[in-house]
Amino acid sequence: MKISVKYDLNITCKTILKEQLDKLNIPHVLHGTGEIEIKRAISDEEMQELFNNLNAYGIYVLNDQKTALVQRIKNTINEMLEDDRLKSQKVSEYLADKLNYSYTYLSNLFSETTYTSIENFVILRKVDHAKDLMADTDLTLTEIAYRLNYSSVAHLSGQFKKITGLTPTKFQEILERRRGTRIQQTI
């Protein structure tokens, strides 16, 4: 028997972090940008055990400050795209305010480290978010374009096709066919 599940990686990761830190009795605060504030000094043994426990879940502690900042940029962009209240805010202003660095510095660091621009990363994430909304909701393309702060459905469609090779309509047709196949398999 097969079952389909949907999960939120953000919630999953935060839950694992909290469970592992609590298991070791390490007082902490989880910050939304991929950072953990540890409230007391911890021994090398505790730190190693925490690292090992997290590594088992594919969660790695970043020791390099530049890599850590790039990950914070990605996490902040993901948070921004998921929060409807922030959709009209400029990415450059939001990142600079939230991370306390100039956008020029953040942009240069991101490009140097990832070989792509922040703008391109935002487009990739918006298209991924659009695919999730098409798969998991009954929103129209107009509603999805509005929710993701696109100026029009045409703008969303153009970026969607450039990234996926499919129009949003074709993507929705494929989803419908898959759903139909799953229903037939369960009958």
In tens, the pLDDT along 96-135 reads 999 999 999 999 999 999 999 999 999 999 999 999 999 9
What residues make up the domain containing 121? 117-187
> Coil, helix or strand for 39?
coil
Tens-place pLDDT, residues 54-97: 999 888 887 778 888 998 999 899 888 888 787 778 999 999 99
130 falls within a domain: yes
What six digits make up the tokens of 41?
């000094």
Does 3 map to a domain? no
Q: Is the pLDDT of residue 147 over 80?
A: yes
CA 42 – CA 171 distance, rounded (Å) = 49
The answer to whether residue 83 is domain-embedded is yes
Over 60: is that where the pLDDT of 183 sits? no
Q: For position 37, what pLDDT does the model report?
A: 85
Say if CB 30 and CB 14 are below 8 A apart.
yes
**Phi, psi (deg, nearest 5) at residue 127:** -65, -45
Q: Examine the domain organization and report whether 186 and 136 are in the same domain.
A: yes
pLDDT digits (tens, 9 = 90+) for 14-36: 899 999 999 999 999 887 667 78
Q: Is 137 helix (H, G, I), strand (E, B) or coil?
A: coil
Domain membership of residue 22 (yes or no) is yes
